Amino acid sequence: MTLRSTDVAVRVDGVKVAFSGRTVLHDFSVELSTGSQYALTGRSGSGKTTLLLLLAGLLTPDEGRVVSSLDRSDVLYVPQAPSLIVELTAAQNASLGLRLRGVPPAEALSRGVEQLRALGLVDADDALPGQLSGGMQQRVALARAMAVRPRLLLADEPTGSLDQATGRLVLDTLIEQAGQEMTLVVATHDPAVAGRFDHHIQLDHGRVA
């Protein structure tokens, strides 16, 4: 089901999600405005990743509904764990989303490399994922998502494995490129990261705190 309002990207209504008898989200509701940027906070196990998966359309709730005004192709989720194709170089991984959308190879590669540079990856173009640190791999995954320019970008702890300076660069780039056109949701444990966002969604035991 889709929303008609251009002011709302995604609405979550009365959602319940449980795994193996453990309820992760309880009667949860939230609304994301188009073009807004959100910090998603809460303790480990509070339901942050589950909510991101719901918003991405990768998880179906046990109760309630998730209503979106976006096409599935307009939504990208970047998990905390590395999610690269191990046989492809960093540049090839960064351009993969564009290639899958029919962008010509040379243009896709150029745009992917541009995003790698924006995220501080200067000498990693030809490196395979196994030759990169976990934080570098996550930046490649972010570059792949950002190159596509989705209307909703969901990033799970994108600065969690980075030093302070690199984390600040990544966050600056995400916020700047999101602008007024992309809805951005960043899950984080870091109060300094959360403080960069005007809108906060704080979870506590599966509910909005």
159, part of any domain? no
Q: What is the pLDDT of residues 161-186, one digit of tens each?
A: 999 999 999 999 999 999 888 999 99
15, part of any domain? no
Q: Which domain holds residue 140?
A: 84-148
Sequence-distant (6+) residues with CB within 8 A of 202 are: 41, 42, 208, 209
Across-strand partners of 12?
A: 30, 66
134, part of any domain? yes
What pTM does this model have?
Answer: 0.92
The token pair at 62 is 């046990």
Is pLDDT larger for residue 96 or for residue 207? 96
108, part of any domain? yes
CA 17 to CA 52: how far, in whole Å?
Answer: 12
Sequence-distant (6+) residues with CB within 8 A of 93 are: 84, 85, 112, 129, 140, 141, 144
Q: What is the pLDDT of residues 116-149, one digit of tens each?
A: 999 999 999 999 999 999 999 999 999 999 999 9
8, part of any domain? no
Sign, CA dihedral 106-107-111-112, equals: negative
Bridge-based pairing state of the strands 152-156 and 37-41:
unpaired
**Domain count of the fold of the chain:** 1
175, part of any domain? no
5, part of any domain? no
